Amino acid sequence: MTQTATDPVALKALLQWYLEAGVDEAIADQPQDRFAEQVQALAAKASAPAARPGLSDGPLPASPVRGSAPPARGPLTKPAAPAQLSDQAAVKDAVAQAAKAQTLDELRAALEGFDGCALKTTASNLCFFDGNPKARVLLVGEAPGAEEDRQGLPFVGPSGKLLDAMLASIGLDRNGEGDSAVLISNTVFWRPPGNRTPTPSEAAICLPFVERLIEIVGPRVVVCVGGPSAKTLLAQTQGITRLRGKWFDYATPKMAGPVPAMALYHPAYLLRSPAMKRDAWRDLLMLKQKIADLGAG
């Protein structure tokens, strides 16, 4: 055991360092089935070559420690499916489940019953959407954060407060009606542990639900909030700095036709880099102009 592992002052300093680095959950990215590990360890012991006399009645093997070598896979466990294959199966299931939904309530129920996204296992709440389902403007952020996870609503933490102010500056409001109304959602519906960016497979697995949300709401304009959202929805590989300030066409096969889509800097980025608010303001004016061009109704 190292000195750090026993020294309370060093341990506290280490925790503080983790906290400042943004780690706020004592969990890993993927769930760990410790019951299965014990079964595997027992199975490995049972199938091991005959033990030397005197050692066979020893204590049961202890549960493996995190970071140690994984236990040998015993005959009681199914071989793990290749990750790619299970992601593909999850995407297929997501497409099928999302396609059945005809209303936002049905889509929410489909998400509640969907177990293909591992983020669900570590999140506290489903975070579906906030705002007005009749809105002409639909915003899609990256992923719920800690406060969103607690409340089950998108953009209700510090970056949500800035997003509300940005929207208000051009006459939009998540509690608004008519021309001022917006609907806000995310590219994934459960909080990634520690607020990390969703992985490409998590985004791909949730995408059929995001697409169905857009089809059901039928907005006149789609706004991607932040680079990961823009890359996912607009199928682009460039970063947000190159994607912002332009109009794209957004369409799914079930939509009557394409709608204009744009990307905004993420408010969390603007909180860290206030100098970029000048560009964000230009983008908001561009959005305001597009809404005005669409006319009333």
Give contact residues for ligand URA (rule: CB under 6 A).
141-145, 148, 154-155, 157, 159-160, 186, 225-226, 268
Report the nearest approach of ligand URA to the CB of residue 141 (Å).
Answer: 3
Instruction: Output the DSSP codes for 14-69.
Output: HHHHHHHTT---SS-SS---HHHHHHHHHHHHHHSS-PPTTTTTSPPPPPPPTTSP
Task: Give the torsion sign (CA, 123, 126, 128, 131).
Answer: negative
Report the nearest approach of ligand URA to the CB of residue 261 (Å).
Answer: 16
Q: Which is nearer to ligand URA, 64 or 269 (CB)?
A: 269
Distance CA 117, CA 29 (A): 12
Q: Which is nearer to ligand URA, 157 or 219 (CB)?
A: 157
Cβ-contact 107, 209 below 8 angstroms:
yes
Q: Which is nearer to ligand URA, 43 or 269 (CB)?
A: 269
Q: Which is nearer to ligand URA, 130 or 215 (CB)?
A: 130
Distance CA 263, CA 234 (A): 9
Nearest CA-CA partner of 89 in 111, 116, 120: 116
Length of the chain: 297
Cβ-contact 254, 100 below 8 angstroms:
no
Nearest CA-CA partner of 28 in 205, 204, 196, 200: 196
Report the nearest approach of ligand URA to the CB of residue 56 (Å).
Answer: 55
The residue type of 160 is G
Q: Which is nearer to ligand URA, 255 or 271 (CB)?
A: 271
Q: Which is nearer to ligand URA, 97 or 186 (CB)?
A: 186
Nearest CA-CA partner of 114 in 217, 214, 208: 208
* Residue sitting closest to ligand URA (CB): 141
Report the nearest approach of ligand URA to the CB of residue 142 (Å).
Answer: 3
Report the nearest approach of ligand URA to the CB of residue 188 (Å).
Answer: 9
Report the nearest approach of ligand URA to the CB of residue 27 (Å).
Answer: 19
Provide the strand spans (E) within the chain. 130-131, 137-141, 182-186, 221-225, 248-250, 259-264
Report the nearest approach of ligand URA to the CB of residue 197 (Å).
Answer: 10
Distance CA 82, CA 78 (A): 12
Q: Which is nearer to ligand URA, 92 or 196 (CB)?
A: 196
